[in-house]
Amino acid sequence: MMTSNERRALLYQTFVDAPFLSQIDWEGATRTFVIHLLELLLKIHRYQGEHPLRTLLTQLKAYYGTDKQAEIDALLPIIDALPQGTTLPNHEIKVFLSYARDDDEPFVRRLYDDLTERGFDIWYDRVKMPNRGLGFPQEIAQAIEEADYLVLVCGPRAYTSEYVRKEWQHAQRHCKPILPVVRLGDFPPPILDQLGPNPVDAIDMRDDAQYADKLNYLVRQLSYKPLPLAHSPNVQRKDEWYLARSELQRQVIQALTGLGRENTVTITAIEGLAGIGKSTLAKMIAWDCQVRRYFRDGVFWIEVGKDP
């Protein structure tokens, strides 16, 4: 039987940043929780290109043996036969396209046209550079801050472009989810390591023969507004000079939000010599975008000790 935290972790892994997660009551008996969850998923099926029950069952297969996996496989065709309904009103979703013009600009234009046709509000510099009397850097920064997502079109030029780097770094600072789309070069893209400790799902769009399927997958990823960020009223701001310890940060975040916890309250400690950077690391974790979306009720900083 799963605890409320384990339920939360599983569904957040399955439906990343889906707004309907905020409607779930994580407490209560297993039977009641499952019934309410099924009722909710059946109501929101019309917002998904893929039925959310299929998504959930596919995720659950990893936790069961061969017999249960076969039972899940038998259910999938039944779920696929359910009516699909309409799509999410995507005009509410704002997307910033970040790319290098020398990689494959015709592809970027095609992507812009197709996402626009599906109702997304796409910021593409060739089309939507607004004339507000601002300099180019401020124009770009404001567009990113107003966006819900940044789609990063990956290619050799994008990896070395100063403009592209500033764009995705600005998106990171403002907790904008980044979706890498690989058009040229290796897959997975080498830039993944630079996008932070949180997992990022890159999309391979190098093969034109698979373009339609990959586009549909991208549309599903973009079809929900990101969850709101927790308020952090008394946490000191991150230090600009901080040298990221991505692996340590990832381990602590996983301990705070991952599966396998037996208690509803998770206690995680960072230990080490004085002055080694424990408080700085904790500060970075408190401001981490994934943490602030997971603990939406708030993140608080409380100092304890002889001289708190």
Q: Which residues of the chain register pLDDT less than 50?
A: 45-48, 85-89, 132, 259-263
135 Cβ neighbours under 8 A, 6+ residues apart:
none
Task: Confirm whether pTM is higher than 0.85.
Answer: no
Indicate where the chain has its CATH 3.40.50.10140 domain(s): 94-222
> Is 94-222 a domain of CATH 3.60.70.12?
no
192: its two tokens: 């993944």
Q: Rounded to 5 degrees, what angle do the CA atoms 4, 9, 13 make?
A: 150
Residues 281 and 292: their CA atoms lie apart, in Å, by 15
Residues 125 and 140: their CA atoms lie apart, in Å, by 9
| Nearest one of 202, 199, 203 to 288, comparing CA atoms | 199
Residues 255 and 197: their CA atoms lie apart, in Å, by 13
How confident is the model over 108-156, as pLDDT tens digits? 999 999 999 888 999 998 887 755 455 557 888 999 999 999 999 999 9
**Helices 30-43 and 52-60 meet at what angle, rounded to 10?**
140
| Nearest one of 32, 101, 82 to 7, comparing CA atoms | 32
How confident is the model over 186-226, as pLDDT tens digits? 988 888 877 765 556 789 999 999 999 999 888 878 877 77
